[in-house]
Amino acid sequence: MTTFKRASRALTSKLSAIYTCNFHPVTSLSHFSYTHNASFCSRPRQNNKEGSTIDLNQYPSDNIRNFSIIAHVDHGKSTLADRLLELTGTIRKGHGQPQYLDKLQVERERGITVKAQTATMFHRHKFLGSDTDFLLNLIDTPGHVDFSYEVSRSLAACQGALLVVDAAQGVQAQTVANFYLAFESNLAIIPVINKIDQPTADPDRVKAQLKSMFDLNPSDVLLTSAKTGLGLEQVLPAAIERIPPPPGKSTSPLRMLLLDSYYDEYKGVICHVAIVDGALHKGDKICSAATGQSYEVSDVGIMHPELVATGILLTGQVGYIVSGMRSTKEARVGDTLHHTRTVIQPLPGFKPAKHMVFSGLYPADGSDFEALNHAIERLTCNDASVSVTKESSTALGLGFRCGFLGLLHMDVFHQRLEQEHGTHVISTVPTVPYIFEYSDGSKLQVQNPAALPSNPKNRLIACWEPTVLATIIIPSEYVGSVITLCAERRGEQLEYSFIDSQRAFMKYRMPLREIVVDFYNELKSITSGYASFDYEDSEYQASDLLKLDILLNGQPVDAMATIVHKSKAPRVGRELVEKLKKFIDRQMFEIIIQAAIGSKVIARETLSAMRKNVLAKCYGGDFTRKRKLLEKQKEGKKRMKRVGSVDIPQEAFHELLKVS
């Protein structure tokens, strides 16, 4: 035993010596942090009493460049951002994960950007004959039209944009949409052709497309490969020389644009802001131009690329602030923040989010309502653009009616609910907001078809539905099939031209209702996956709309009600009742499934009852004896049908109503 204790003491002393040799004491932690960061930051950090900070005073607005990277999906935008962060020493090469600025799991799986991210970089460049230090703010914006409002507000903080195009795929639909969004914001646009290392790359063809579509000079185009690093050394010098500095005035009262916000469990709401005029210091009291509420700035700094406190933000700089906001609903994207007790002119462009698609969310198991409620509350803390109201359905129980900016926004929200919070939900068929006008002059905006009366007291005189301007770019051999598809979806052709000898450009005005479910899947199917599709909101147009009810034994099922165009009502009604017949279990009584418009039934299916063989005990005798037994069974089924209710399993709703 004594030998064992002696060995234990010896081992303990050795471990203590190893720990003392290999680890810094707590008092030298700030020095260790400074040494670690200095190894990969191109700008040295200055020590002060609070630890290592960055002195932003040495970067006047003339030495600041704010730019964004805009591109179609999967054209290498996030990879290019990674390489720029590595070039400037903001992150070490091979340090961290690919697509460093894409933080969410759904972003990595889909290859898209959902939340705008900002990174501050420092770069030394020979400018006007001398080496000059520049502060570069890279604002990585979502590329999809569903988030176009956030994109437009983010672009408002930029003076330039890198337009990235795939060297093999060329100009795509979202390339067109993003270009015009940047062009309307008067940004300096630098075209970048990426992925030139691919075997199928054809930079000359893409240059010709950029010239014909956007009138961009081929000599201004940069040829790069973000994967191999080829040509990247010319990107940052081009951004410094071609993009103008921020136009704000440092002597004017503080005005800053709120770009984005998210909720942190420890700090509360963290806001990404761009300083347009003036300067912001830690401890300042600020006010919101939209809500009028006042806050005190408890923390301020930059994203480098993680949060780095600086204590100050100056004119033209982009960073973050922590001000004690309790919810992201207070931090409205596009809002103007300013010092309290100062009168300023709010920055243009603030407006509330416009919800274009509505869907009901219900727990797959009715007992999980509280868990779903908690998950939605947590998720809306980081996504204030979702509208949520409670509703109840006779078939699905308690749930929520949610409004989204678009289809992708809805799909991402559902995926985040399942991945981040482990909830299983049933989503009803997505609908769009309609407007109905009656003979007494009243107008009713309908987001949930069940809320529209089937037999209104007043006569319906007009209906309006939202439309979109759809942009479609396809290989020329699929033009006929796509025109047929758009005609079936009540599309109106506005523009039709050829980008080059291989690809066609088409523009349609289409009802939003026609594209919310499966239009994109069908388009991809008939074009062998080569089509690219994008859309933007347009005005409401008059239409002939009807409410289609689904009845089970004469009782309407509110969760299955839908609003359809008059020309498509019979076909949609037949498809719904046929699909429902497959998924509803047989009962002990007959089930009649009907699709009806008002009191008129347009489609019907009958699900026969399960029956016991009451004739099994009859081995012979007169036929009237068998008939007597069958009539007795028939009367019992009628009585059961009157008092019984149809049991619709949750799986049937999930299969029938799930969004593909």
Angle in degrees, 0-180, between the axes of helices 77-87 and 235-242, rounded to the nearest 10: 90
**Which tokens go with 84?**
């720029």
Phi, psi of 526, rounded to the nearest 5 degrees: -75, -15
**Which tokens go with 524?**
């991809």
How far is Cα 74 from Cα 167, in angstroms, rounded to an integer? 12
State the number of CA atoms in the 13 A half-sphere of 214 facing the CB: 27
| 338 within 8 A of 289, measured Cβ to Cβ | yes
Cβ contacts of 467 within 8 Å, gap of 6 or more: 509, 510, 511, 512, 538, 539, 540, 541
State the number of CA atoms in the 13 A half-sphere of 339 facing the CB: 14
Partners of residue 126 on adjacent β-strands:
131
**Which tokens go with 417?**
């609910």
In angstroms, what is the C-alpha Rg of the chain? 31
Partners of residue 165 on adjacent β-strands:
193
Q: Which of 551, 547, 559 is nearest to 391 (CA)?
A: 559
Binding residues: 71-78, 140-144, 194-197
Task: Note the residue count of the chain.
Answer: 660
Cβ contacts of 61 within 8 Å, gap of 6 or more: 245, 246, 248, 250, 314, 315, 316
Binding residues for GTP: 71-78, 140-144, 194-197
| 299 within 8 A of 273, measured Cβ to Cβ | no
Which DSSP string corresponds to 512-561? GGGTSSSHHHHHHHHTTT--EEEEEEEEEEE--EEEEEEEETTEE-GGG-
- Which element (helix H / strand E) includes 509? strand 503-511
Collapsing DSSP to helix, strand or coil, 445 comes out as strand
Q: Which of 168, 167, 245, 181 is nearest to 214 (CA)?
A: 181
How far is Cα 60 from Cα 275, in angstroms, rounded to an integer? 13
Q: Which amino acid is at 293?
A: Q
- Report H helices in 297-383: 369-380
**Which tokens go with 247?**
């136009």
Q: Which amino acid is at 99?
A: Q
Place of tokens 């002696």: 6
In terms of Cβ atoms closer than 10 Å to its own Cβ (0-12, 13-18, 19+), residue 280 is: buried
